[in-house]
Structure formats: structure tokens, C-alpha cells
Chain A
């Protein structure tokens, strides 16, 4: 069967779309709104107050507003808001118990840098990739 140019283009487009899918999925909590359409920080505070949230911090991350505070039930949370609509893009709630457990974990096994000489040291020359066969690239797949 012969494949015409008419058919080749959509097939190629589909292949590209499929290849890009994992990358896009990784960034699904990003916002992409022009600065001119952003609502102000005051608008974020008012929106939060209307939800019964007590804000502790507002910052900008990955093109979204990122807020931290306590929700109407008093639970700690972190959320990303669309800067134009103030819609919640991502919300993580955290119980104080979780936090205490994590703090205890950190105290038990402190995350310290390895002692000098114990770990790996110098980096190779920047233009060298000695481990991979020239002309080849690793392939990664997530299942």
C-alpha cells in the first residue's frame, strides 16, 4: 500500500503528539496566562477570604499563584491558582500529624552531605560523554 503525502502529514503529527504526551503530562500543573491578564495579589487574598482560607504566604511558581495557609477546617494546605481565573489548579492538604511524623523522620536520620572522599568526586571534561556509545541516546519509558 502506498502512503501519499496527504496521509503522511497527519500520521507524523500524531506521532509527534504521542511523543510529546509524557512531557506535557509532567507540566499539567503549570499556568500560562499573559501578565496583562493576571489578577492582583489583593484579589487572591479576597478570594481566599471568601473561601474561608487563612493565608500565610503568596508566591508565584510555574506561572501560577502558589498559596499556603489553613483551610476553613483549619488544615494546612498548599495550592496553585490560575492567575486569571483564580481557579484551583492543584491543591495539597496536609494534616499536622503528617508534618510531625515527617519532622520526626528528619530528626532521626538527618540528611547530611557525604563526607569528603567517601562519595564520588570530580566531573569529567564538559564535552565528554564517555559512558554512552557515540551516536546513541538512551531511551526511557514509564509503565
Chain B
């Protein structure tokens, strides 16, 4: 019993530290369904801008070849100063007609605070589409589907 006591104390301390952080976080699931645009897999950058329109952070980048990131023009320009913009947020490009689902734990303070979710999109030999999607990050907007300009059939997000 005496051996397990320090372990239990450590677990309790870890929970005590983690719980306040968890209470301030909110899980959001973003669902992006692409049109059947008849081309190669699309590169997508999903990112946030704040109430002033300044870049706030990257949530996901679909597509692994850095040479194509310049075609995600707005995101590439705005996030250039963020050295960790790709850390842990990259995946494969998304084929025409397929659906990308991204789940992220966002700070509670971002919701209903004027932040915006933006998606830039591009596909090989097709036109670039910066700001393909622009929607407010708000409880009122959650669950409402929106179509993109060129590649995205519908985009919506849900809070858990």
C-alpha cells in the first residue's frame, strides 16, 4: 500500500493541474467536403484569424509537399512568421469528392470573440482559391453549412 501511495498522489496532482486547463478548452470538429472538381487531390490550409483580421494559428494543412504551399497564398503569406505553423498539423491532400474531418481542442476564449476560420485551397493545374471559406468561430455559426467558391462543397463545424 505504501508503494502505491506516492503514485496516487502524483496522479491526483496531475489531475488537479490538468483540470483547469481542460475546463478552458473546447473540442471543435471541422468537416470539409470537397466537390467532384475532376482534378488531383486538393491542398487545404485551415487556419484562424483574430477579430482584427490578424493570423492567429494553423489548425490543419492537407498536403505534404512544401513546394505547393505557395499556392495556399493567403495562409502562406500570413503564417510566414510562424515557425511552428506545420508542427503536428499536416496530413495527406484530400481527393475530389472526399471529406476531411479535423478535430482540435481550442481555447475557450477564442469562441464568440471575433475569430474567423479560413480555408485556402489549391489543386495541381487548377486555379488557386485563397479564402475559399471564411466563417466566424461562434456558437451561432456552429452546425451551419457553407459552400466554398471553387473546391469545397460544404464546410461546417460542431462544438462538443
Q: Does A34 count as interface, using CB distance less than 8 angstroms? A: no
Q: Does A23 count as interface, using CB distance less than 8 angstroms? A: yes
Q: Does A131 count as interface, using CB distance less than 8 angstroms? A: yes
Contacts of B125 in A (CB 8 A): 78, 92, 94
Q: Does A129 count as interface, using CB distance less than 8 angstroms? A: yes
Q: Does A124 count as interface, using CB distance less than 8 angstroms? A: yes
Select B84's contact among A26, A27, A114, A126, beta carbons within 8 Å: A126
Q: Are A131 and B54 in contact (CB under 8 A)?
A: no
Select B101's contact among A94, A135, A140, beta carbons within 8 Å: A140
Binds A, one of B3-11, B45-53, B138-146, B152-160: B45-53
How far is the CB of A80 from the nearest CB of chain B, in Å? Answer: 11
Q: Are B104 and A132 in contact (CB under 8 A)?
A: yes
Q: Tally inter-chain residue pairs, CB-CB below 8 A.
A: 134
Q: Does A130 count as interface, using CB distance less than 8 angstroms? A: yes
Contacts A131-B106, A138-B102, A142-B98; A124 near B56 (Cβ below 8 A): yes
How far is the CB of B49 from the nearest CB of chain A, in Å? Answer: 4
CA distance A143 to B100 in the complex (A): 7
| Interface 1/0 per residue, A100-143 and B, CB below 8 Å | 00100110000101100001111111111111111111111111
Q: Are B91 and A22 in contact (CB under 8 A)?
A: yes
Q: Are A22 and B92 in contact (CB under 8 A)?
A: yes
Q: Are A119 and B53 in contact (CB under 8 A)?
A: yes
Q: Number of B residues whose C-beta is below 8 Å from A?
A: 54
Q: Are B102 and A139 in contact (CB under 8 A)?
A: yes
Contacts A123-B79, A124-B81, A138-B88; A23 near B64 (Cβ below 8 A): yes
**Closest partner residue, chain A, to B52 (CB atom):** A121
Instruction: Classify the secondary structure of A's interface with B.
Output: loop
Contacts of B65 in A (CB 8 A): 26-27, 62
Q: Are B92 and A25 in contact (CB under 8 A)?
A: yes
Mark A residues whose CB is within 8 Å of B. 22-23, 25-27, 62, 78, 92, 94, 102, 105-106, 111, 113-114, 119-143
Mark B residues whose CB is within 8 Å of A. 21-22, 24-25, 41, 48-49, 52-57, 59-60, 62-65, 73-74, 78-84, 87-89, 91-95, 98-107, 110, 118, 125-128, 130-131
Those 9 A-B pairs whose CB atoms lie nearest each other, nearest first: A123-B81, A131-B57, A138-B104, A126-B83, A133-B25, A22-B92, A26-B92, A133-B105, A120-B49
Apart from the given pairs A122-B81, A133-B106, A142-B95, 14 other A-B contacts in the complex at a CB distance below 8 Å: A22-B92, A27-B65, A92-B125, A94-B125, A102-B127, A106-B127, A113-B73, A121-B55, A128-B82, A133-B24, A138-B59, A141-B102, A142-B92, A142-B100
